[in-house]
């Protein structure tokens, strides 16, 4: 057990007795220690009483839960639902926890704790058993005649090889059923689509917006389309944040001068980093924050990135005012919205 | 009629008509004028008292004519709603410069606040303080309010109004103790970092729905402890420390030999 004092000896052990080294010496049983309850009948009695008390706690918990179920009914208010849940939960907690604690305490203090060992049997079967098994297999193969019936051989291999297609083909075709990535490049904004307020669908007039106003915008589509199955996917791409700024602080490039209307600008609400909805707007700094990774965009300056992991400005939706004074889109976004993907600029 | 028509060219006709007109004008004035005259004086008194309070407490930063300067906004046209919110929540007068003016015990009582509001409202037209009916949560629809709140407010103020962080030390305050009137005024005026939600973008009825939703959240969660409602941080802390801690405790207890 102690470290060998003689280094030569150690080298000897390592060199000659490799197979012995692999074996871990059997440490044998630890010395059995008697517990309080084994030595002292009073302690045993005490432990028994503790186990009984734990079971009684469980019984009381069950009865309490049943009483609570009939006595405390949720009346429809938040507080009454909370109280009813709390009473039921506490009753169940004591009912089950009492049984669990009692069982563990019982086993630890009163049940026999004498260590017993049972040796494992060898994994390798005896030689005659192995030979008999091989003989049976060979006899079976010869009996089936597969070696001398090549057509049958081919048929069984083909059948087994083809069967997995019944799983693989539907799986692959439903995963990759739609390889049309052009849909990522467009949203349902079209020239003349009116801007509407999310979630009510009310239309927006330019005169409705005071400086500092923010509106969360969806394209104006018929109400029945907003209830349709594909709407949520279209909305997820098309959502827009509309802000009215003091025209004096708005910095605009020459080609985008006509994209805003009297200080009103509209930007895609989908972060160019990984696509979270960018919606935390600070009115005084005119910064727009993404809640996921704190990318910050300056709405007064083309929504360019001023902080955070996003690499591109938010796409701008060109807007104008129609004959009736409503805000409408001039066109779709001129670039794909949201995070980058391989074919983005192809 | 014929007798009247016959005398319309009488030489005293203009005199009689003039007398009649004077009588009607005087009568109408006597009937209508007194009430409006006294209301005007009360309002004028409020404005005058408000101006004194303004010059003593606000003019240092906002200027004697409330014109504002570099970093200090002008108060012309902000309306009584902005004053009632900023002064009523104690944000104004500011105690010190910081990332944002924080709510603290109000320095002025309700009467002084309304006098200040009357003075600032007299400087230019702006949004005015809502009526009690406009902010009564019992009249709002909490379910509609939840939709409006989710779309417009929850990204900063948290889904149940527990507040959240903004950039550079600024934060969106918790709405758990804000009065319905102050919630309404904040939406209407857009104080500090908050954008403006005027009556066209969120209608007065929708504002009341939002208030109804927020007031309903004050009853707490039906599921028990809401742990502040601030999401995965407090919930994770609870489950990792209390939950996994007690599981480890149980495992150690089960594995330990009895003494």
Would you list the domain boundaries of chain A?
36-109, 184-329
End-to-end CA distance of chain B: 123
On the 0-12 / 13-18 / 19+ scale of CB atoms within 10 A, B116 is buried
Find the CB nearest B219 among A79, A85, A208: A79
pLDDT for residue B138: 92
| Residues B57 and B121 reside in one and the same domain | yes
pLDDT for residue B36: 46
What are the pLDDT digits (tens) for A123-149?
A: 899 999 999 999 999 999 888 888 888
User: Which comes out higher in pLDDT, residue B60 or A21?
Assistant: B60
What are the pLDDT digits (tens) for A305-333?
A: 999 999 999 999 999 999 998 999 999 99
pLDDT band at B68 (very low <50, low <70, confident <90, very high): confident
| Residues B114 and B157 reside in one and the same domain | no
Rg for chain B (alpha carbons), in Å?
29
Mean pLDDT of A25-42: 85
Interface size A-B, in CB pairs within 8 Å, comes to 99
Domain boundary (B206, B221, B236) is at: B221
- Nearest C-alpha in A relative to B256: A108
- Would you say B9 is a known binding-site residue? no
| Residues B121 and B135 reside in one and the same domain | no
- Is it the case that residue A17 has pLDDT exceeding 60? no
Asked if residues A197 and B201 have their Cβ atoms less than 8 Å apart, the reply is yes
Does the reported pTM lie above 0.95? Answer: no
Asked if residues A241 and A217 have their Cβ atoms less than 8 Å apart, the reply is yes
ipTM of this complex prediction, to 2 decimal places? 0.71
Number of folded domains that form chain B = 2
| Residues B114 and B189 reside in one and the same domain | no
Instruction: Return the minimum-mean-pLDDT range out of A156-160, B30-34, B76-80, B186-190.
Output: B30-34
pLDDT for residue A195: 93
A307 to chain B: which residues are within 8 Å by CB? Answer: 167
Name residues 176-215 of chain B within 8 A of A (Cβ).
190, 192-198, 200-201, 206
Mean pLDDT of A290-315: 93
Asked if residues B222 and A81 have their Cβ atoms less than 8 Å apart, the reply is yes
pLDDT band at A300 (very low <50, low <70, confident <90, very high): very high
B218 to chain A: which residues are within 8 Å by CB? Answer: none
- Would you say B153 is a known binding-site residue? yes
Report the alpha-carbon distance of residue A167 to residue A161 in Å, rounded. Answer: 12
- Nearest C-alpha in B relative to A286: B193
Find the domain containing B84 and state its range: 40-128
Mean pLDDT of A334-346: 85
pLDDT band at B42 (very low <50, low <70, confident <90, very high): low
What are the pLDDT digits (tens) for A50-81?
A: 999 999 999 999 999 999 999 988 888 888 89
| Residues B178 and B154 reside in one and the same domain | yes
| Residues B146 and B110 reside in one and the same domain | no
pLDDT for residue A8: 45
pLDDT band at A9 (very low <50, low <70, confident <90, very high): very low
| Residues B136 and B211 reside in one and the same domain | yes
pLDDT for residue B226: 83
Q: Quote the minimal CA–CA distance from A325 to chain B in Å.
A: 14
The answer to whether residue B148 is domain-embedded is yes
| Residues B120 and B167 reside in one and the same domain | no
- Would you say B156 is a known binding-site residue? yes
How crowded is residue A146: how many other Cβ atoms within 10 Å of its Cβ? Answer: 13
pLDDT for residue A131: 95
Chain centroid offset of residue B199 CA:
13
The answer to whether residue B3 is domain-embedded is no
Q: What angle do CA A229, A233, A235 make, to 5 degrees?
A: 105
- Nearest C-alpha in A relative to B156: A280
CATH, residue B102: 1.10.760.10
A291 to chain B: which residues are within 8 Å by CB? Answer: 155
Find the CB nearest B258 among A77, A109, A199: A109
A54-58, A226-230, B97-101: range with highest mean pLDDT: A54-58
The answer to whether residue B232 is domain-embedded is no
- Would you say B250 is a known binding-site residue? no
B194 to chain A: which residues are within 8 Å by CB? Answer: 283
pLDDT band at A106 (very low <50, low <70, confident <90, very high): very high
Preferred mutation among A212, A236, A267 to probe B, highest tally of B CBs within 10 A: A212
Mean pLDDT of A119-126: 87
How crowded is residue B198: how many other Cβ atoms within 10 Å of its Cβ? Answer: 19
| Residues B103 and B163 reside in one and the same domain | no
Q: Quote the minimal CA–CA distance from A197 to chain B in Å.
A: 7
Cross-chain Cβ contact A113/B166 below 8 Å = no
How crowded is residue B132: how many other Cβ atoms within 10 Å of its Cβ? Answer: 8
B201 to chain A: which residues are within 8 Å by CB? Answer: 197, 204, 208-209, 213-215
pLDDT for residue B40: 52
Q: Quote the minimal CA–CA distance from B43 to chain A in Å.
A: 28
| Residues B148 and B169 reside in one and the same domain | yes
Instruction: Return the minimum-mean-pLDDT range out of A101-115, A179-193, A245-259, B38-52.
Output: B38-52
Report the alpha-carbon distance of residue A194 to residue A189 in Å, rounded. Answer: 9
Find the CB nearest B167 among A199, A216, A296: A296
- Is it the case that residue A88 has pLDDT exceeding 90? yes
DSSP one-letter code for A258: G
The answer to whether residue B174 is domain-embedded is yes
| Residues B84 and B119 reside in one and the same domain | yes
Report the alpha-carbon distance of residue A114 to residue A32 in Å, rounded. Answer: 7
Instruction: Return the minimum-mean-pLDDT range out of A40-49, B29-38, B118-127, B219-228.
Output: B29-38
A83, two tokens = 């109280």
What are the pLDDT digits (tens) for B205-252?
A: 999 999 999 999 888 888 878 888 888 888 999 999 999 999 999 999
Whole-angstrom CA distances from A47 to A43, A94, A98 are: 6, 20, 15
Q: Quote the minimal CA–CA distance from A267 to chain B in Å.
A: 16
Domain boundary (B102, B128, B154) is at: B128
pLDDT for residue A173: 77
| CATH code reported for the domain at A184-329 | 2.102.10.10
What is the three-class DSSP state of B164? strand
Report the alpha-carbon distance of residue A204 to residue A217 in Å, rounded. Answer: 9
B234 interfaces chain A, CB cutoff of 8 Å: no
Mean pLDDT of B68-92: 89
What are the pLDDT digits (tens) for A211-226?
A: 889 999 999 998 888 8
| Residues B107 and B172 reside in one and the same domain | no
């Amino acid at each position: 057990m102690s470290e060998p004092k003689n280094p030569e000896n150690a080298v000897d052990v390592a060199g000659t007795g490799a197979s012995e080294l692999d074996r871990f010496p059997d440490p044998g049983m630890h010395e059995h220690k008697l517990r309080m309850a084994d030595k002292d009948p009073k302690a045993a009695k005490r432990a028994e009483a503790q186990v009984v008390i734990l079971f009684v706690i469980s019984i009381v918990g069950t009865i309490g839960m049943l009483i609570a179920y009939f006595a405390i009914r949720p009346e429809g208010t938040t507080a009454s639902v909370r109280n009813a849940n709390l009473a039921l939960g506490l009753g169940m907690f004591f009912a089950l926890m009492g049984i669990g604690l009692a069982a563990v305490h019982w086993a630890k203090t009163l049940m026999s704790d004498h260590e017993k060992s049972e040796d494992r049997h060898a994994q390798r079967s005896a030689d005659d058993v192995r030979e008999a098994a091989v003989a049976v297999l060979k006899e079976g193969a010869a009996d089936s005649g597969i070696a001398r019936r090549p057509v049958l051989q081919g048929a069984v291999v083909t059948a087994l090889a083809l069967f997995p297609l019944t799983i693989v083909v539907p799986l692959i075709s439903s995963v990759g059923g739609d390889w049309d990535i052009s849909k990522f490049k467009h949203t349902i904004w079209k020239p003349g689509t009116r801007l509407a307020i999310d979630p009510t669908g009310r239309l927006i007039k330019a005169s409705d917006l005071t400086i500092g106003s923010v509106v969360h915008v969806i394209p104006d589509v018929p109400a029945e389309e907003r209830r349709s199955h594909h709407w949520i996917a279209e909305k997820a791409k098309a959502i827009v944040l509309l802000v009215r700024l003091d025209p004096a602080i708005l910095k605009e490039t020459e080609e985008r001068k006509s994209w805003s209307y009297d200080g009103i600008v509209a930007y895609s609400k989908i972060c160019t980093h990984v696509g979270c909805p960018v919606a935390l707007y600070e009115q005084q700094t005119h910064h727009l924050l993404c809640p996921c990774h704190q990318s910050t965009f300056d709405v007064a300056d083309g929504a360019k990135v001023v902080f955070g992991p996003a690499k591109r400005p938010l796409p701008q939706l060109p807007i104008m005012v129609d004959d009736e004074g409503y805000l409408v889109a001039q066109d779709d976004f001129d670039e794909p919205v949201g995070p980058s993907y391989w074919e983005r600029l192809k | 009629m014929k007798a009247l028509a016959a005398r319309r060219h009488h030489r005293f006709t203009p005199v009689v008509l003039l007398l009649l007109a004077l009588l009607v004008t005087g009568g109408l004035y006597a009937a209508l004028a007194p009430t409006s005259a006294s209301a005007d004086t009360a309002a004028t008194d409020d404005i005058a008292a408000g101006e004194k309070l303004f010059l003593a407490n606000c003019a240092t930063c906002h200027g004697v004519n409330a014109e504002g300067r570099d970093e200090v906004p002008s108060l012309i046209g902000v309306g009584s709603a902005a004053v009632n919110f900023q002064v009523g929540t104690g944000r104004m007068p500011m105690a010190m410069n910081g990332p944002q003016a924080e709510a603290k015990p109000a320095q002025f009582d309700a009467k002084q606040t309304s006098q200040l509001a009357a003075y600032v409202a007299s400087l230019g037209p702006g949004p005015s303080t809502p009526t009690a009916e406009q902010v009564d949560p019992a009249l709002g629809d909490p379910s509609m309010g939840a939709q409006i709140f989710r779309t417009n407010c929850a990204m900063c103020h948290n889904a149940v109004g527990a507040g959240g962080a903004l950039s550079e030390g600024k934060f969106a305050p918790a709405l758990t103790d804000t009065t319905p009137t102050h919630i309404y005024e904040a939406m209407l005026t857009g104080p500090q970092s908050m954008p403006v939600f005027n009556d066209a973008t969120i209608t007065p009825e929708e504002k009341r729905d939002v208030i109804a939703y927020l007031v309903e959240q004050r009853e707490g969660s039906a599921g028990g402890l809401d742990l502040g409602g601030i999401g995965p941080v407090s919930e994770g802390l609870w489950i990792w420390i209390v939950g996994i801690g007690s599981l480890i405790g149980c495992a150690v207890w089960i594995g330990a030999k009895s003494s």
